[in-house]
Amino acid sequence: MRGAVRSSAGAASLPDGAEAIEIEEIGPSTDWSNALQNMHSVVHLAARVHIMEEAAVDPLSEFRYVNTAGTEHLARAAAKADVRRLVYASSVKVNGERTMGVPFTEDDEPAPEDPYAISKWEAEQALQRISSESGLEIVVVRPPLVYGPGVKGNFLRLMQWVEKGIPFPLSMVCNRRSLIALDNLVDVLVSCVEHPQASGQTFLVADGEDLSTPELLRHVAEALGRRVRLFPVPPLLLQVGAKLLGMGGITNRLCGSLVVDSCKVKKLLNWRPLVSVEEGLQHTARWYLSER
């Protein structure tokens, strides 16, 4: 097993026994030769992800440089190195930002909205072109929000707020959101590497226990040994107020629904989640409390 890392510090995150290969910035000219030598399969996880305070003048170009051009370049290098299969971690955001009563499926017309999602969808299309030209087997996995040890972004912020006892005006929210624990995501990626029927497929994956935001907050609080404080505010009023304060994006995710149908991966690869949401959140909480 071999892992590509940006620095020697990144090697600490690799499994025991894995060889670390340092690479330069990911883009259309990255040298992958040492990392790909004698490799049978590649799992591509690296990406330019959501930037909390975007400073780029042209964010789409920045996302495309890493996520689209960088992925395309890696795939071509992999095909040249006789790699058999590349598993690509894309995003459910390729499907869209929200569901309205009907879960997303792999057959839905892609509807990416922000620069990150657009770059991911363009990368998927590039991978399919390379596969048809070279025979490189491609598997695309679109996860929703991923949580687990090392989680960052809004989920980490949510845990910090719960631990501090900050009250949430969310008790009237009746949404549903799909999540996936890191343990489950890793397991399904391994299945995509190994299973012969995964080749050429796109999969939506999730824990299978869709939660409302109040339910998620209660689960997080329980895992942290805290009590969550919820109070009622009509969701429409909450969204209007948040938009005026420049927090519309976060509030849309807290109040809106995003549900995926994982039946395809379960049926085709006979995959089942390794851990429940409760177990996944407990793992995440133990890591969070140990890092304080």
Span 64-121, pLDDT tens digits: 999 999 999 999 999 999 999 999 999 999 999 999 989 999 999 999 999 999 999 9
The DSSP H or E segment spanning 179 is strand 179-181
The DSSP H or E segment spanning 80 is helix 70-80
Nearest to residue 67, comparing CAs of 119, 126, 6, 131?
119
Q: Report pLDDT for 54.
A: 56
Q: Report pLDDT for 238.
A: 78
Q: Report pLDDT for 196.
A: 95
Q: How many residues does the chain have?
A: 292
Q: Report pLDDT for 217.
A: 96
- The answer, as to whether pTM is greater than 0.85, is yes
The letter for the amino acid at 221 is: A
Planar angle of CA 184, 63, 185, nearest 5 degrees = 5
Structural domains in the chain, CATH included, are 1-142 (3.40.50.720)
Q: Report pLDDT for 260.
A: 97
Task: Burial-class residue 16 by CB neighbours within 10 Å (0-12, 13-18, 19+).
Answer: exposed
Low-confidence ranges of the chain (pLDDT < 70): 7-12, 50-56, 242, 244-249
Strand partners, 181: 147
**CB-based contacts of 74, cutoff 8 Å, min separation 6:** 26, 30, 32, 42, 44, 86
Residues 151, 140: Cα–Cα separation, whole Å:
22
Q: How much is the CA Rg of the chain, to the nearest whole Å?
A: 20
Active-site hit among 65, 88, 116, 288: 116
Q: How many CB atoms lie within 10 A of CB 52?
A: 8
Q: Which two tokens stand for residue 139?
A: 């598997």
Nearest to residue 49, comparing CAs of 91, 21, 12?
91
Q: Report pLDDT for 245.
A: 61
**168 and 220 Cβ atoms separated by less than 8 Å:** no
Q: Report pLDDT for 191.
A: 97
- Is 116 known to be catalytic? yes
